Amino acid sequence: MSWEFFGTTLAAFFTLSLYSFLYKDNPFYKLAEHIFAGISAGYYVGLIWHSVIKQQLWTPLFNERQYLLIIPGILGLLMFTRFFSKVSWLSRFSLAFVVGNTAGISLIRQLHGMVLPQVRSTFLNVATFSGIVMVLGVVSTLIYFYFSKEHKGAFGFVAKIGIWFIMVSFGASFGYTVMARVSLLIGRAQFLLTNWLHIIK
Amino acid sequence: MNSFLKIFSLLKGIDRRYIFLLIGVAVIMPLIFPLGLPLGVTQPSLDLYDKVESLKEGSVVLLTFDYYPSTLPETEPMSYAALRQLFRKNIKVVTVTTIPLGALSVMENVVKNVAREYDKKYGTDYVNLGFKYGYQAVLLGMGRRIEDIFPMDAYNNKLETLPLMQRVKNYKDIDFIFIVSDNATVDYWVSLVNAQFGTPMGAGVTAVMAPKCYSYLQTRQMVGLLGGMKGAAEYEKLTSNPGRAMLGMDSQSIIHFAIIFFVVLGNLGYFATRKKEVSK
């Protein structure tokens, strides 16, 4: 028995074990679930050690003498003070850096990369039918989410149109989600029939 | 009418495991006995294909493998089809991933297989940058200087020693970015890289993400889009590389018919039995 066949059979065993949950909860499902969780956790620990601590801190700091990395290194270590109640306040420095940094990048990213292009393109083809539908959809959906005025009269009517647009959007998302989940099932069936059983080529 | 209601009452009590079994059979049978149902090509897929076709020989494309192994049935066929199209056109390819779990080995596998098919040489025709943690910093940093973020490639070669990377320093030297993704990194490629550096891009994404990504077509932040296994199958068809996505589309169609049937049946049953319960 080759190693490749052993690996494929093992993968097939875990695939079938996980699908066995559709019949009912059982020890094979539990075994596969726990092994997956354990391997993922172990893999992440190894990955972080190699690709973050070793590759981005240890090697450049000690081999390439990039001493500025001492600052993020100390900030990283301060995060661990959360485990000691007396000095846990020190972790706030690291968190403040992370929050500030993320907020700064996200603000520009959202505004420059998302909001402005979307607003601009909403009104680009306003003279066409699809352009009118687009503007109507955006305005009515925004009105539905405006809760400082009661949804009555003309305002309520436009809000109701907004609900219809939201429902169409949910329907499209649901349809695509069904397709995605079915694709995963097809993928596993292809693996079992092609790689494991060699029924199809 | 009473017999009609009786059927619905019976169906309401049916063990759902029979439905699972039916779905399983509906997936497996078309894989063993393909039906060859027609497969149309949508405009966003065609636009992406045309954009890649319009690139000149020797252009540089950054191909991303931003997906986990759990979504391989949808994303891997896109990577295969895209890479085959790029190599067929003698386009230089730089591959990268921002996903830690498994993407690196998937990327190596796909690139090695296709490079062997087209007799492409590593370092001259394609380069694998590998994985680097922290995608926001990675994406922004590559706009300044790729070598700052990836001093080494995936095989620990210094970038300066690779002929292709001597002329690819940052996004300015990249003609197109082909994103294949199953997560929010696609938003970062659009809102950080396209918005700040203006590099044209297109994407192949999982079906779950497709509705959101359509908005990037409207804003022209993306030139084309492949959505889920259907998008992958369309790209396989366009690039004349029938693969696992096209093979799976028969099952996909049958399952969708079955689900629509169950949704209609379920709703009819619900309204019929509710009317009866209200009249009681």
The total number of residues shown for chain A amounts to 201
Tell me which residue in A52, A112, A183 faces B207 most closely, judged by beta carbons: A183
| Cβ–Cβ contact A114 with B under 8 A | yes
Q: Which are the contacts of B57, defined by CB distance < 8 A and separation ≥ 6?
A: B89, B90, B91
To the nearest whole Å, the CA of B279 is away from the closest chain A CA by 30
* Among B224, B220, B240, CA closest to B46: B224
Residue B198 φ then ψ, to 5°:
75, 15
B191 and A114 within 8 Å at the Cβ level: the answer is: yes
Is the pLDDT confidence value at A126 over 90?
no
| Cβ–Cβ contact A113 with B under 8 A | yes
Looking up tokens 């050690």, which residue turns up? A49
CB B94 within 8 A of CB B60: yes
Rounded to an integer, what distance in angstroms lies between the CA atom of residue B251 and that of residue A125? 38
The pLDDT tens digits for A57-70 are 999 999 999 999 99
CB A189 within 8 A of CB B31: yes
The pLDDT tens digits for A80-106 are 999 999 999 999 999 999 999 999 989
* Among A192, A182, A198, A199, CA closest to A11: A192
Structure tokens at A84: 């000691």
Is the pLDDT confidence value at A54 over 80?
yes
Is the pLDDT confidence value at A148 over 90?
yes
B190 and A113 within 8 Å at the Cβ level: the answer is: yes
The pLDDT tens digits for B34-62 are 999 999 999 999 999 999 999 999 999 99
| Cβ–Cβ contact A35 with B under 8 A | no
B20 and A184 within 8 Å at the Cβ level: the answer is: no
Q: Which residues of chain B have pLDDT under 70?
A: 1, 276-280
Q: Which residues of A touch B158 (CB under 8 A)?
A: none
Domain ranges (residues) in chain A: 1-65, 129-201
| pLDDT of res. B116 | 97
Structure tokens at A126: 């306003």
The predicted model gives A25-51 an average pLDDT of 94
Rounded to an integer, what distance in angstroms lies between the CA atom of residue B266 and that of residue B277? 16
Q: How large is the ipTM?
A: 0.91
Rounded to an integer, what distance in angstroms lies between the CA atom of residue B52 and that of residue B57? 11
Q: A12-16, A183-187, B6-10, B142-146: lowest mean pLDDT where?
A: B6-10
Burial class (CB in 10 A: 0-12, 13-18, 19+), B172: exposed
Average pLDDT across chain A, whole number: 94
Rounded to an integer, what distance in angstroms lies between the CA atom of residue B226 and that of residue B242? 16
Beta-strand pair B60-66/B176-181: parallel
Q: If pLDDT is split at 50, 70 and 90, which confidence band does A127 have? A: confident
To the nearest whole Å, the CA of B229 is away from the closest chain A CA by 6
A186 and B27 within 8 Å at the Cβ level: the answer is: yes
| Cβ–Cβ contact A176 with B under 8 A | yes
* DSSP summary character for residue A193: I
Looking up tokens 């099952």, which residue turns up? B251
Rounded to an integer, what distance in angstroms lies between the CA atom of residue A58 and that of residue A52? 9
* Among B65, B110, B108, B61, CA closest to B86: B61
Q: Which are the contacts of A44, defined by CB distance < 8 A and separation ≥ 6?
A: B100, B101
Is the pLDDT confidence value at A20 over 70?
yes
Chain A (155-174) residues lying within 8 Å, Cβ to Cβ, of chain B: 169, 172-173
The C-alpha angle B274, B279, B280, rounded to 5 degrees, equals 95
The DSSP-derived string for A48-63 is HIIIIIIIIIIIIIII
| pLDDT of res. B271 | 84
